[in-house]
């Protein structure tokens, strides 16, 4: 994505943001929308994936984006018959219709998003909220069809990072904490709110993928209609116990009743009582936040669309994060999966390609869910000396028999099956080794 003299160029679609748009939306909001290119790239790949999977035309909605940029991208890049509806600011409706020729292949409306979603049905809904997206969830979950995808983007990073605990409690009904894993906590709290909204309309959800950037949190949900899909999801919303001293955390699986802190199972050995350091966060989603098969297909789409190297790298990191391999060899093989499934090799063409793709999907489906939460070096540093390299830490964890990988949540973050104590011991040992050699 590039923005030169007010002209936005993103995924082959250009749009002039100066003039009427900046007057109607303020320059601050325009810049906020322009910054969400990663979220729109995910939405574009999701729409393409859904259109390939579904027989016949599908109805897709860009619910609250101000100047129809996602809808224009979908129309331009997806040849299959899709019905695109973009909801824009009323002041910009005429201006948008006159700027881009692709706009005539889509429906431009200027309605209240709640009214629009309560009155119509869609297979895919993209919510790009400037602020919190929770106020739109009830309408979106009523509107979305069975087997549909819901892509939710929230930009209230300060609230999700617990800068305003009262506002967070009012909006999300959950307690946050500024911690090393705040990004994953934000994803899980948003997921819990989506699940509650879906349950009111007799629908269940699973998380396909999530991403956290400097500007936003994006989560993609697969929505299924029916009580049989709702009931398995309900126990997955649980409170999280967190030790303020050592950062240990664990979900309270038996959440049928809220126990006093002094009656809960201790997380660690921080004192005999442990209640002064123990706090309860959430409630939040405790299930998996990644579907490796889905992410691998999105990576295929990103390569096909010839997206930028930075966007492709994010998809690759998401795939690595979702699998959390035990060896570098497995990780390298995993990153070659999109190339294997899309390349044209010698031999019987279509049958061989199809069987190869199916075997890849089976391998990804057999992978165990990634470990809960990640560790950040900055919160486990040893005073003095230089910190070890991220790749070195991942390699050492794998040599000890743990699953370990980089994660897109931060440049110094590691996802691993090792316990907190094992991770701290390893870091201390590596710090000592580095200090001896310097």
| Region of residue 216 (left: phi > 0; alpha: psi -120 to 50; beta: else) | beta
Query: Which pLDDT does position 396 carry in this prediction?
Result: 95
Alpha carbon distance 120, 136 (integer Å): 14
Rounded CA-CA distance 291/208 in Å is: 5
Is residue 222 within 8 A of residue 209, CB to CB? The reply is no
Q: What is the C-alpha separation between 103 and 327, in angstroms, rounded? A: 48
Burial pattern 288-302, b for ≥16 Cβ within 10 A else e, equals bbbbbbbbbbbbbbb
Distance, in Å, from the CA atom of 33 to the CA atom of 432, rounded to the nearest integer, reads 46
Q: Note every long-range contact of 7-11, with CB atoms under 8 Å and residues 24 or more positions apart, other chains counting.
A: 8/34, 8/69, 10/37, 10/40, 10/69, 10/73, 11/40, 11/41, 11/44, 11/73, 11/76, 11/77, 11/305, 11/307
Q: Is 110 exposed, middle or buried (0-12, 13-18, 19+ CB in 10 A)?
A: middle
What's residue 277's pLDDT? 78
Q: What is the spatial distance between Cα 322 and Cα 330, in angstroms, rounded to a whole number?
A: 13
Distance CA 398, CA 294 (A): 25
Per-residue pLDDT in tens (0 to 9) along the chain, 438 residues: 555 555 667 777 766 655 554 444 554 555 566 678 899 999 999 999 999 999 889 999 999 876 788 998 999 899 778 999 999 887 776 666 656 666 778 898 999 999 999 999 999 999 999 899 999 999 999 999 999 999 999 999 999 999 999 999 999 999 999 999 999 999 999 999 999 999 999 999 999 999 999 999 999 999 999 999 999 999 999 999 998 888 889 998 765 445 555 555 567 777 555 556 788 999 999 999 999 999 999 999 999 999 999 999 999 999 999 999 999 888 988 887 444 333 344 445 444 444 444 444 446 667 788 899 999 987 887 766 678 899 999 999 999 999 999 999 999 999 999 999 999 999 989 988 887 776
Burial of 349 (0-12, 13-18, 19+ CB in 10 A): exposed
pLDDT score at 81? 82
CA-derived radius of gyration, the chain: 23
**What was the pLDDT predicted at 266?**
64
Long-range contacts of 426-429 (CB under 8 A, 24+ apart): 426/393, 426/396, 426/397, 426/400, 427/377, 427/380, 427/381, 427/382, 427/388, 427/393, 428/382
Q: Show Cβ contacts of residue 161 under 8 Å, excluding neighbours closer than 6 positions.
A: 176, 178, 182, 186
Q: Identify the three-state secondary structure at position 424.
A: helix
Output DSSP code: residue 287. S
Q: Identify whether the C-beta of residue 91 lies closer than 8 Å to the C-beta of residue 24.
A: yes
Residues of each domain in the chain carrying CATH 3.40.50.150 = 2-236
- The pLDDT score that the predictor gives to residue 139 is 98
Q: Is 258 helix (H, G, I), strand (E, B) or coil?
A: coil
User: How is domain 375-437 classified at the architecture level of CATH?
Assistant: 2-Layer Sandwich (3.30)
Detail the DSSP E strand segments found in 81-121. Answer: 82-87, 107-109
Pairing status of strand 82-87 against strand 375-376: unpaired
Residues of the chain with CATH 3.30.56.70: 375-437
Among 331, 303, 438, 327, CA closest to 384: 438
CATH 3.40.50.150 assigned to 2-236: yes
Q: At what angle do helices 390-399 and 420-437 cross, to 10 degrees?
A: 120
Residue 283's CB is within 10 A of a number of other CB atoms, namely 24
Handedness of CA 253, 280, 223, 324 (dihedral sign): negative
pLDDT for the residue 190 = 98
CB atoms within 10 A of CB 121: 14
The residues that bridge with 262 in the sheet, in sequence order, are: none
Q: Are 168 and 176 in contact (CB under 8 A)?
A: yes
């Amino acid at each position: 994505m590039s923005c030169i003299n007010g002209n936005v160029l993103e995924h082959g679609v250009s749009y002039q943001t100066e003039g009427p748009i900046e007057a109607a939306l303020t320059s601050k909001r325009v810049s906020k929308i322009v910054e969400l290119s990663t979220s729109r790239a995910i939405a574009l790949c999701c729409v393409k994936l859904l259109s390939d999977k579904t027989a016949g035309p599908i109805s897709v909605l860009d619910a609250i984006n101000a100047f129809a940029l996602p809808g224009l991208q979908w129309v331009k890049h997806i040849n299959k018959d899709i019905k695109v509806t973009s909801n824009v600011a009323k002041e910009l409706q005429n201006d948008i219709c006159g700027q881009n020729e692709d706009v005539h292949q889509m429906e431009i409306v200027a309605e209240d998003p709640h009214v629009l979603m309560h009155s119509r049905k869609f297979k895919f809904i993209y919510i790009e909220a400037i602020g919190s997206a929770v106020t739109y969830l009830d309408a979106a979950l009523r509107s979305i069809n069975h087997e549909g995808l819901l892509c939710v983007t929230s930009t209230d990073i300060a609230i999700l990072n617990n800068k305003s605990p009262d506002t967070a409690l009012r909006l999300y009904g959950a307690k946050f904490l500024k911690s090393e894993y705040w990004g994953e906590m934000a994803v899980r709290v948003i997921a819990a709110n989506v699940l509650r909204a879906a349950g009111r309309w007799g629908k269940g959800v699973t998380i396909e993928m999530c991403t956290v950037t400097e500007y936003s949190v994006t989560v993609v949900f697969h929505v299924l209609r029916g009580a049989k899909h709702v009931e398995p999801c309900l126990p997955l919303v649980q409170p999280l116990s967190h030790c303020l001293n050592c950062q240990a955390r664990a979900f309270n699986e038996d959440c049928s009743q809220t126990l006093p802190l002094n009656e809960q199972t201790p997380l660690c050995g921080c004192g005999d009582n442990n209640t002064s350091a123990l706090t309860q966060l959430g409630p939040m989603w405790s299930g998996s936040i990644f579907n490796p098969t889905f992410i691998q297909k999105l990576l295929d789409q990103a390569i096909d669309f010839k997206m930028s190297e930075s966007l492709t790298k994010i998809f690759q990191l998401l795939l690595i994060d979702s699998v959390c391999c035990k060896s570098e060899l497995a990780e390298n093989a995993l990153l070659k999966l999109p190339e294997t499934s899309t390349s044209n090799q010698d031999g019987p063409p279509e049958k061989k390609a199809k069987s190869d793709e199916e075997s890849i999907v089976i391998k990804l489906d057999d992978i165990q869910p990634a470990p809960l939460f990640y560790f950040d070096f900055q919160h486990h540093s040893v005073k003095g000396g230089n910190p070890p390299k991220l790749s070195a830490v991942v390699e050492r964890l794998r040599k000890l028999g743990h699953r370990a990988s980089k994660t897109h949540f931060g440049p110094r973050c590691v996802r691993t099956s090792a316990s907190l104590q094992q991770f701290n011991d390893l870091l201390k040992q590596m710090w000592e080794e580095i200090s001896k050699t310097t």
